[in-house]
């Protein structure tokens, strides 16, 4: 299957959709858990990525508005969270991605981060998509668990209507019965046919939404398998949530990857990605 896509440039080293460039890693904790711990995680991921010559984008949320329970930790909030993200960005010299949930968050977030992420549950929110697109930052739209891959073309159309073509599409699994997600690998080429780079979210794809009552569950041990499969199908970026101790994580612990396991996973994915790109 051959078709052209728009290349999306963040900087000279990070160009999504360029077959001459290495696979791009987007990784970090689900939510900011304090500056020191978030910096520790980002620093270690950067060390691993640099050793493997993998371009790296740090990700973390300042607010997780779509938690399972009212009692769940949401994050430090907009003001404190953006300050932490800015400090991490400046100290490590890495680009940063974060979620936005409301139109009012777009402008202040755009002053700090390099990529604005539209959460899966909000991928049809027209006003949010338009506001994000008008910043001229890269907009990463996560495919809703309720969406068919080809329906993401409508979300793309909303962004393109502003004149922006700085779009990424991320697969994170589709609802499969109750408290279960299924990663359909055929969705990756289907979304890529829309004409924009595709990212695979290997950790949310193994999530079990609200499966533990107050919080979501997950099958962390399946992450390497799905990451390798996605690389074999063909992707432009790999999204993973990582933590030094997922058992202590304040959000999405069961599906997050241990930092100690990250290098091995990336080496395998990188090797497969090279074979696919060479072909």
> Of residues 257 and 219, which shows the higher confidence score?
257
Lowest mean pLDDT among 124-128, 134-138, 178-182: 178-182
pLDDT greater at residue 220 or residue 16: 16
Q: Which residues pair with 239 in a beta bridge?
A: 26, 201
- Tell me the average pLDDT of the chain: 93
pLDDT of residue 212: 56
Q: DSSP assignment of 163-183, as one string?
A: T---EEEEE--EE-STT-EE-
In tens, the pLDDT along 197-242 reads: 999 999 999 987 754 555 556 788 999 999 999 999 999 999 999 9
DSSP-derived pairing of the beta strands 56-59 and 24-28: parallel
- Full set of structural domains in the chain with CATH: 8-278 (3.20.20.70)
* Residue 214 DSSP one-character state: S
* pLDDT higher than threshold 60 for residue 28: yes
Alpha helices in the chain (DSSP H): 35-51, 78-92, 103-110, 126-133, 152-160, 187-192, 223-233, 259-278
Instruction: Tell me what pLDDT residue 216 has.
Output: 57
Q: Find, among 132, 222, 202, the residue nearest to 168 by Cα.
A: 132
CA distance 154 to 174: 18
Provide CB contacts within 8 A for 106, sequence distance 6+: 100, 116, 128, 131, 132, 135
Instruction: Say whether pLDDT at 173 is over 80.
Output: yes
Q: Which residue, among 168, 154, 74, 75, has the nearest Cα to 116 in the 3D structure? A: 168
Whether the predicted pLDDT of 2 surpasses 90: no
- 166 near 136, Cβ under 8 Å? yes
Is the pLDDT confidence value at 254 over 80?
Answer: yes
Residue-wise pLDDT tens digits, 93-122: 999 999 999 999 999 999 999 999 999 999
Mean pLDDT of 35-49: 97
| Residues across the chain | 279
């Amino acid at each position: 299957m051959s078709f052209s896509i728009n290349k999306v440039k963040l900087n000279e080293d990070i160009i999504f959709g360029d077959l001459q460039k290495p696979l791009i890693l987007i990784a970090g904790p689900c939510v900011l858990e304090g500056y020191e711990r978030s910096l520790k995680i980002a620093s270690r991921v950067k060390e691993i990525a640099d050793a493997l010559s993998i371009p790296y984008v740090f990700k973390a949320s300042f607010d997780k508005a779509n938690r399972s329970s009212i009692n769940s930790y949401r994050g430090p909030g907009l003001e404190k969270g953006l300050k932490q993200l800015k400090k991490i960005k400046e100290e490590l010299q890495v680009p940063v991605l974060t979620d936005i949930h409301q139109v009012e968050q777009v402008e202040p977030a755009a002053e700090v981060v390099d990529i604005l992420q539209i959460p899966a549950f909000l991928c049809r929110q027209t006003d949010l998509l338009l506001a994000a697109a008008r910043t001229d930052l890269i907009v990463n739209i996560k495919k809703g668990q309720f969406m068919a891959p080809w329906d993401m073309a409508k979300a793309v159309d909303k962004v393109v209507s502003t004149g922006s073509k700085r779009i990424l599409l991320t697969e994170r699994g589709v609802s499969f019965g109750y408290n279960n997600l299924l990663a359909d690998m055929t969705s990756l080429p289907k979304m890529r046919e829309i004409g924009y780079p595709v990212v695979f979210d290997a950790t949310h794809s193994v999530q079990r939404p609200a499966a533990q009552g107050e919080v979501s569950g997950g099958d962390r041990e399946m992450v390497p398998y799905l990451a390798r499969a996605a690389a074999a199908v063909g992707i432009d970026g790999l999204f993973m949530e990582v933590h030094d101790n997922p058992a202590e994580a304040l959000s999405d612990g069961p599906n997050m990857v241990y930092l100690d396991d990250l290098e091995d996973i990336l080496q395998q994915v990188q090797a497969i990605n090279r074979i696919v790109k060479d072909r």
